Every structure is written in C-alpha cells, then in structure tokens.
Amino acid sequence: MKIAHVIATFPPYKGGMGNSAAQFAGMLAKRHEVTVLTPRYERVDDGEPLPYRVERLASPVAYGNAAWLPQLLWKLRPYDLIHFHYPFYGSHLVVLAACLAWRKRLVLHYHMDSLAVGPKGWLFALNRFLVLPFILRRADAVIGSSLDYLAHSQVAGFFRSRPEKFRGIPFWVDTDKFNPGTRRDTGEAVALFVGGLDSAHYFKGLEVLLRALKEVVKKHPGEISLRVVGSGDLLPH
C-alpha cells in the first residue's frame, strides 16, 4: 500500500506533531511504501537515511505553521491512503479536495484543538463550524492520543454521533533511550511540565500552571517544586 503522511511541520524543523508523524511513518514503512509530504519552511538536512521518503514542498503562501500547498491536489493522486495530521491550515482544504477528486481513503489524525484570541480565534472558529465537519464526515477513521481527549475536544459532537470512526492510539516512549534511572527520594513532590515555549505553542498553559502552583506553594511551602522542560522565544517571559 502507498501511504502519504501530510503534516505541517516535520523533523528536523520542529514540533511534537512532526515527531509523532515520523514515528508512524517509520512503523508503517516496514510493510508499506510511505512518503511524508510537508512544507519547505527552510533548508534542512534529513540526516541519516530514512526508511521512507520525505518530500518538502514549496508554498506560495505560508504563515507560521500554516501553508498553502496546492500541488498536493495532484501529488496525492498515486497514493492508496492519506494520513492527514490535523491541524494543518491552508492545506486542509487541498487534502479534502484531493480525497473527493481521487476518492482516496483518509485517516484524520486529530492532534489538538485550535485555540486563539482575536482575529485568529475568529478564523479558527469559522473553520471549526464550516470546514472541519466536512473533513470529519469524509474521513474513514479519526485517531487521537486517547479516546478521552477526543471525547472532550472540539470534535466531541462528532465523536458522540459516530463513535465507531474513532480510535485512540497513545503516544509511547522508547525505553531504550528514556528510562527513569536511579530515583533519589528527597521527600519533595515534583511537578513536571514538558512543552514548547514558543509563540506558536502559547496555548500549552504554562502560565496557568504557574498561577495554580503559586496557590499550592502558599499552603504547602517547601513541599513541591516545578521542573520545566522546553525552550522557545517565550522562555524569558
């Protein structure tokens, strides 16, 4: 089977979504012919040879992680299945058009809700009510990190009406690379936050956690600490 992964960001550029797509592509490449289609945001070197092909496409219009890739309409024609990592604004309409034009099977990988304030928030809301329902109906399957998340996300209504379409595929950890090592018991509770600290990921909620922890520390001084793993332009703030 020929499978196309369509993703807004892909390693080594940045993004947890891209890392997730890379893991899926690596697994599927053991049995299928896999290609990752992603915007060419900058010159990158994919490093060591990969078991799948990565095609970085030039975009006539790009803003942040959004990019319009009209060439997807004909580039997706040879594939049997499209694994579309959402959100990918700008190209989600092209993917939908390609699925309709070429009658392709579509797996929608719903990574996260789109949240923003001001004009960007209005555009997100407009897309959620006018475009996303068409993509959900067209999808043969919708997957996410857990069924619980999907049931409480912005696609919750569709989840309740068509639960048979949804699958939860949890994120996993390569225990050959990551393991707890030797635990040192200091008697202190530790809260851990891991996430991008850049403007594109402001919605991760570190500010909310900091305000909440401030109240916890007032009641339990010296009993809890917070460790933050991540970097980006919001780190000084």
pLDDT at 15: 67
What pLDDT shows up at residue 89? 96
Please tell me the distance from the alpha carbon of residue 228 to that of residue 230, in angstroms, as a whole number.
Answer: 6
pLDDT value of residue 117: 82
Q: Does the pLDDT value for residue 109 go beyond 80?
A: yes
Cα angle vertex 109, ends 104, 110, to 5°? 130
What is the distance, to the nearest Å, from the Cα of residue 140 to the centroid of all Cα atoms in its chain? 19
Q: What is the mean pLDDT of the chain?
A: 91
How many CA within 13 A on the CB side of residue 56?
13
Q: Show the domains of the chain with their CATH numbers.
A: 2-168 (3.40.50.2000), 177-237 (no CATH)
14 has a pLDDT exceeding 70: no
DSSP string, 15-48: -HHHHHHHHHHHHHTTTSEEEEEEE--S-----S
Q: Give the count of beta carbons closer than 10 Å to the beta carbon of residue 60.
A: 9
- Residue 51: predicted pLDDT: 94
Integer Cα distance of 108 and 203 in angstroms: 22
29-73 pLDDT tens trace: 999 999 999 998 776 666 678 999 999 999 999 988 899 999 999
